[in-house]
């Protein structure tokens, strides 16, 4: 029997590169599929792996290339990864890379682009719910899956320390979430669209411009600010799961990761919920 076609590689290699220029940060997030074609037939036909490159090595090459090329656009970055592979391994004949980019849009606060607060392109969906009877009605509005992050000014420390804890304290981390927010109207505002936009802008301003001791801390202050900004609101509820970006350890490659290369993860994720209402 003949082996007529073969290739292998690593899929869903996720990496966030964060270029820091003082207080001005630029995130670049990619998910890559890296596939190799070459003189690897013996791994299939005779179980001989001497020419085979571990797919873990492919992932490491992506991460090292990311650390050394923080500002390249997606097109130039995949070319850089392919070049490293071709220069390192003579048994590779061709490299095929596909990359999907999550585009982070710089958020404007008070009309000025903010240095480290971002919203995801193509973001979220609006939400409306009405419960009505002859006795009255309750109207709710909100957002589902609205994703945003800030690349500094967030920490998580002084939490329970016991034999199960492995997470260290940190005072500077990426804070990101995909928010479901639902606000209940005490009375409908004159212009719901304008009021909804004002609520969102208030939430993002508090999130982006104040230090966060944790998602819980930001969530409560965001809710307080929304209630202050829009008097027609009765309460606002949040579901805000953590979207973790974990610093990648590059010390094995002689590189110091000074908060510039991260592994994006979706699961498992922390899930934080709260409702903030007006006091009587």
Annotated binding site for O2: 55, 242
**Annotated binding-site residue numbers:** 55-56, 173, 216, 242
With beta carbons less than 8 A apart as the criterion, state whether 104 and 121 touch.
Answer: yes
Neighbours of 183 (CB within 10 A): 27
> Could you give the angle at the alpha carbon of 178 between the alpha carbons of 23 and 183, nearest 5°?
110
Active site residues: 10, 55, 244
Question: Whole-angstrom Cα distance, residue 119 to residue 23?
Answer: 17
Annotated binding site for 5-hydroxyisourate: 55-56, 173, 216, 242
Both structure tokens of 165: 């804890």
In angstroms, the CA 138 to CA 202 distance is: 23
Read off φ and ψ for residue 170, nearest 5 degrees: -145, 145
The HSE-up count of residue 195 (CA atoms within 13 Å, CB side) is 18
The 3-state secondary structure of 33-93 reads EEEEEECCHHHHHCCCCCCCCCHHHHHHHHHHHHHHCCCCCHHHHHHHHHHHHHHHCCCEE
- At 146, is the secondary structure helix, strand, or coil? strand
Give how far Cα 229 sits from Cα of 19, 56, 143, Å: 34, 50, 17
**Annotation: binding site for urate:** 55-56, 173, 216, 242
CA 173, 178, 179 angle in degrees (round to 5)?
110
């Amino acid at each position: 029997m003949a082996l007529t076609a073969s290739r292998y590689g690593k899929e869903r290699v996720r990496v966030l590169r964060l270029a820091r220029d003082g207080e001005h940060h630029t995130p670049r997030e990619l998910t890559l599929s890296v596939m190799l074609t070459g003189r690897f037939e013996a791994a299939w036909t005779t179980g001989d792996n001497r020419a085979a490159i571990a797919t873990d090595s492919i992932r490491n090459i992506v991460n090292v290339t990311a650390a050394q090329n923080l500002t390249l656009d997606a097109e130039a970055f995949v070319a850089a990864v392919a070049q490293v592979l071709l220069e390192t391994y003579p048994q590779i004949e061709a490299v095929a890379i596909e990359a999907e980019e999550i585009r982070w849009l710089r958020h404007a606060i008070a009309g000025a682009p903010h240095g480290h607060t971002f919203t995801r392109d193509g973001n979220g969906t609006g939400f409306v719910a009405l419960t009505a009877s002859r006795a009255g009605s309750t109207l709710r509005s909100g957002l589902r899956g609205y994703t945003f992050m800030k690349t500094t000014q967030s920490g998580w420390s002084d939490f329970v320390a016991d034999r199960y804890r492995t997470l260290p304290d940190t005072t500077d981390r990426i804070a990101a979430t995909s928010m479901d927010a639902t606000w209940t109207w005490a009375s409908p505002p004159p212009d719901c669209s304008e009021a909804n936009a004002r609520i969102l802008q208030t939430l993002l301003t508090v999130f982006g411009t104040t230090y966060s001791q944790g998602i819980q801390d930001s969530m409560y202050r965001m809710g307080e600010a929304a209630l202050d900004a829009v008097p027609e609101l009765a309460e606002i509820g949040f579901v805000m799961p953590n979207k973790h970006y974990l610093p990648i350890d590059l010390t094995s490659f002689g590189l110091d990761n000074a908060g510039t290369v991260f592994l994006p993860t979706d699961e498992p994720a922390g899930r934080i919920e709260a409702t903030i209402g007006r006091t009587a």
